Amino acid sequence: MYLFHLSIELLIFTIFLNFFTNKKDKVPLILCWITKIFIVIFALPIFYEFYSHANGLDLFRIFNSAINKSNSEETIIIILRVLANFITWGGYAPYNFLDIQAILYKITPYFRAHEMLFAFLPMLGYIFVFKKIQGETTLKYFLLFFPPIIFWLSVMSKETLLFFPISAYLYFSYEFIFFRQIKHLVFCLVLLAFCHLLRWWIAYVLLLTTGAYILLLIFAAIRRRNAFLSILVFIPIILITVIFFDEINFTMFRIFRYSNDIYSGYQYSPTGSYHAPFQFHGFIGYLFTFPYYFCLTILEPFFFEVTKTSSSTFLMAAILNIPLQAIFLFSVGCGTYFIFKWKKFPLNYRSIQTYYFVYTLTFFFIFAPFLHVNMGMSVRNKVQVLPFILVTMWGIIRRSIVNKKNLN
């Protein structure tokens, strides 16, 4: 019965990719899907086997909780609760995720079949990313098979599930900004509600991203040469405004209110996640330390940090992070050279790469201090922004190389 459920899933997903995707994108997406099947069926079980505390992994704990919820409550009650929280932007995200898992358990009770579904959903997100990078075949393969992305987007987690609505929202909001069609706005609102259902702060990050990008366009229309600098001016301003709303009650925002104090301490979330201590001089102090947190969060974990006592998760993350570190440093070098050589930023302010860059800055501006001190959070949450970082870095490297060739 397990093989039957798995076969039906694989058949449905493969047919969908074959008939409902762009002809040029069909081959790379199907190849990626075949690779993900291999990862889910063979690689992940080996990874779990070598994990020293496998039973303590979030995905096993959540799946077991979903089973208990599914057995103790009527399916219709769970579905109605999810719909109510979706419409009203209510509920507590981890519990919403449990409800979704419980509904999926009613469809198929097999753990591997659930993993296959979670591995497939990011493929839908890639469809929206590819719509804005047409003609960049090399970049598409690069995004699909980049080691940290293809592995961590195959694991059953909220972050994997969120990649689709994040990608779709960035696509439709970008379309709405330039073409102003009502259907794009409706799609954006639905996708924001879905993000809020699973991880409420992602919805606010996306809203801040859109606001920052709109102001960038307005500022650029007046002073194009300094357009990109407006990002650095606008994001702190809008964050200061946002923190006064009661519904945004995240630890970072509470810290910002005490700008004259040095904050240091341990935080524990309701789900038991542990956050190591961090320290900075309030909001103004954080503005100066943000570049450090930004780079460190992207580059961690480092391979030289691996020890004999390191878990398989840490070892895997350190290995997969090596190509990311190399590309990030190379793109920073290309971007720095471009800025000093031509006195402008190496991206068109109206391009999707710039919009992705604004999203990257906004995401890390809020959460970098939390992510860099907790390896598990860093690995999982970074997947929500990593593909967009790569598109941005690719654009910077490509334009720097093209301009250098034209100069010669």
* Average confidence (pLDDT) per 10 residues, the chain, 408 residues: 65 74 82 86 72 54 70 82 82 78 79 81 88 83 88 84 93 91 91 88 87 80 55 56 45 42 36 44 67 82 74 77 89 84 76 91 79 66 89 86 61
Which pLDDT value is given to residue 312? 67
Which pLDDT value is given to residue 388? 94
Contacts of 370 (CB under 8 A, 6+ apart): 251, 252, 275, 278, 377
* Angle, CA 295 vertex, CA 191 and CA 203 arms, to 5°: 15
Which pLDDT value is given to residue 262? 35
Which pLDDT value is given to residue 370? 66
The two tokens of residue 329 are 């440093």
For residues 108 and 147, the answer to whether their CB atoms sit within 8 Å is no
Which pLDDT value is given to residue 380? 75
Nearest to 117 by CA among 80, 157, 171: 157
Nearest to 177 by CA among 386, 408, 351, 390: 351
Task: Look up the pTM and report it.
Answer: 0.83
For residues 143 and 390, the answer to whether their CB atoms sit within 8 Å is yes
Q: What is the DSSP letter of 275?
A: E
Which pLDDT value is given to residue 168? 95
Which pLDDT value is given to residue 334? 86
